[in-house]
Structure 1
Amino acid sequence: MEEPLVPLVPMSHTAHIRSHRKPRSNASTMAMRAGVAGGILGSVAVAGASASAYAAEPVTQTIELPTLTADVASQVAQSADAMQQTAANYELQAERDAATAKAAEQAAADLKEAKAEAKKKAEAERRAAAERAATRAAERATLTSKATSASTSTSASAPASGSVATVVSFLKAQLGDAYVLGASGPNAWDCSSLMQAAYKQVGVDLPRVSQDQSTVGTDVSLSNLQVGDILYWGAKGSAYHVGTYIGNGQYLDAANPSKGVVIQDLSGYPATGAVRVL
């Protein structure tokens, strides 16, 4: 079924288009706008006038910065150098103090070590000396015992005069022989080797050196000497010379390199002491 057609009514073109023109301002609005614009322009004018006035006024004051004179600058430089030198000196002194302390510490350690070493060495020497002394004492005791035994044996087997005569005879047979230190015959002697060889003829074994020969046998007073007694010069145990008493205030010995084996008067060279082994 067809719908009925609606008739179109023609309308005026101007009747349906609204006007786009801005509404006109009223009188009060216009007056307000004019007042604001006038105020702004007035302010700008005043500011411009002030700026012109300041620009026209000349500058009469300046601000000067302080300047350093040459003397002040030199003093500052010298002060800086002095401070730097002082710091360097302090550093150098600190290094020296450290080196000194280290050297002192090392010296103390070395001294301690040296003392310990010296103490150790002294102790070793003391022990060695004690051992030597003990050995020497034992040897002396043995020699004394042998000399005493030999003397007793000789006395038992033959008259003492026979032993003495044998010793004196042997000694006189060496008269004129040379004196040589350390020699032991048959043509050169020193004082103790001559004594040792002479008394060995009758079985008495004497020590080799005069120091030990002065300690064997029995001590005898110089006022009670008998032929065959051994004379010594120097302290007992440290005698430096020995000889044999042959009677009549005389003794026979290997005297020295200039005299050799000779007979001498006891009064010219008094002995220190005497021992008897026969």
Structure 2
Amino acid sequence: MSHTAHIRSHRKPRRSASTIAMRAGVAGGVLGTLAVAASGAANAAEPVTQTFEMPTLTGDLVAQIAQSADATQQAAADYQLQAERDAAAANAAKQAKADLAEAKQKAEAARKKAAETARKAAAERASRDSARDTLSASASTATQASTSTATGSAAAVIAFVKAQIGDAYVSGGTGPNSWDCSGLVQAAFKQVGIDLPRVSQDQSVAGTQVSLSNLQPGDILYWGSAGSAYHVAVYVGDGMFVGAQNPSTGVVMKPLSYDPPSGAVRML
């Protein structure tokens, strides 16, 4: 046995492979950390530019985009058209309502006017009937007296107009075989030396106004207002008158009730 066998060796003990690997890994980690830190410092000092790649527009994608745009435009056009139709319908309904209201107003006005016209016509008929009754009564009362007092100038006037019964009516006629109303009256009074105006309007104010209930043979009857009369004739007594009426009848003798006059004037 060696005399140094019991003395520990002064040589460094051998390191195992695992220990060496671990230490190498630690060293590698430290170096990696330092490298990352250095890289981070470099990045902080100098900005990094990133590049993005845009997608490429293919033919199909372009067609889809165009189709979508067309669809959007068509939808907008359809919406606008519908809005215009709705507005037009609303305006038409409003106008129809206004037209209906106006038609109702016009119908009501027409109804009122028709009612007023009917009322006036009824009042006029009643007035004419009353005047006819008054004239008939007056004529009945005065028949004998008026016949017997038709003398002198009145008798001559009456004889003349009666002699023309059956002659034709012609507007502007003054005889001897055709007459208008004022032409016949003018010619009749000319027989007794009285010059009357030519037209009905003037003849209706040529003498003294008399009441229809106090007529005498030879009085001039007129239709319409005094001064604006449209027809004249001669009262011949017995509730009758002679006048050139119209183209259909010519010169005729009629009762006062046939067409009640508006007034009378006395020349004799």
TM-score range, shorter chain: 0.3 to 0.5
Larger Rg: 1
Q: TM-score, with normalisation over the residues of structure 2?
A: 0.46
TM-score (norm 1): 0.44
